[in-house]
Copies of this chain bind each other. A is one copy, B any other.
């Protein structure tokens, strides 16, 4: 479905204020000191994965490209910066013409990552690059956290359908991004209509307990739903007594009933009972959807239960215990001028206390063993060794200010499944462990 012509009610006209104030004051001070146009390289990476996680998942790249493209200063934004006294007039004049003109490379969306992976590399003048820090990190830290949880859940679901239904548990626009990231991580559909609208993710949904309670009887509610949505609909059977509801559901809809949904109780036990009852009633093709406080562990524990689809809310949109990643955006190299010929000098924070980083513009490649299974994330400076040349991870996303890395969301979703499949088998264990690949510095 083409959504391009429908307008974008969940977009915003400018992303320029999704920015920490210090980015602006640094630009002002650098403009004054003559360092603003020094050629610079910033990189995004994490020092660690969330505790116990085996791999991370890059998500949000498509949104990030939108954010960079829309990072502009109109009169309203400039007026605010002036009135609030954030920056001076020369800086406002510079901002008025702002348009990112540099280059961005990154791990493509859906790719996996490890501690130290240079997930994104932003090159240009110091001033044009530093301004993008906050919004780039917001997008990647949020979306990658959701995609990582989604990926674990989709491993656990082992091919059964996964429905994202967490909108009500997170900020209304974070929810739209969460649906998108969940899709990248392997989910099949969403309850969130804004995500359907904005990203053409398949949407699903039929009814809640309120609909049953609204009617004078459960039978009346089921009849009303089937009359309106057809026999293929999903009837919610746990408002009163489940066995009674299943019997009524099949009486009302016939054995063609599409599905029943169970939203409370011991799902393992109830799913077995309901399956048996449906089969006895002849509704052998009626599916069972479960939706109560699921996470990847609960999904895994239902592997042997007769469940056809899982609806996941809270634990998905909160990253299953890890609602954010710890990605940072660091200046790793800079020249002493804007001259393309001026050498890039590696730079890095040196102070003690665990926040060290490694200076220099990096490449990254994933080395495979003789069976084609990934065995190391290799990160290096300078020339890429010949044997890793075709295993490089960074791809061009923005070239001379033009977005070149846009792709359909399904490409990211397919890439994630392929990248995860190429990891050692232990990657998809849910138990806590070390990153499944070591990061080697070449």
Contacts and interface: CB of A to CB of B under 8 A. Distances in A.
A143 B173 CA distance: 13
A355 interface: yes
Interface in A240-275: 240-242, 263-266
A13 B9 contact: yes
Contact of A21 (B126, B205, B214, B350): B205
Contact of A133 (B29, B79, B168, B353): B168
Contact of A336 (B20, B28, B216): B216
A83 B138 CA distance: 32
A77 interface: yes
Nearest to A215: B35
Contact of A33 (B228, B264, B329): B228
Q: Determine how many copies of this chain the complex contains.
A: 2
Interface of A: 1, 3, 6-7, 9-15, 17-26, 28-30, 32-33, 35, 38, 40, 42, 67, 76-77, 79-81, 83-84, 86, 88, 126, 130, 133-135, 137-139, 141-143, 165, 167-178, 191-194, 196-197, 203-211, 213-216, 220, 223-225, 227-229, 238-242, 263-266, 292, 314, 317-319, 323-324, 326, 329-331, 334, 336, 347-355
A156 to B, nearest CB: 21
Contact of A22 (B170, B175, B206, B347): B206
A349 B239 contact: yes
Q: Which 5 A-B pairs have the closest CB atoms?
A: A21-B205, A33-B224, A22-B205, A265-B353, A137-B168
Contact of A30 (B21, B76, B214, B240): B214
A158 B303 CA distance: 50
Nearest to A7: B76
A67 to B, nearest CB: 7
Given A11-B12, A26-B207, A138-B167, 18 more contacts: A7-B76, A9-B13, A19-B167, A23-B205, A24-B205, A30-B211, A35-B214, A77-B197, A84-B203, A86-B203, A135-B172, A138-B169, A139-B171, A213-B334, A216-B336, A241-B350, A241-B351, A265-B353
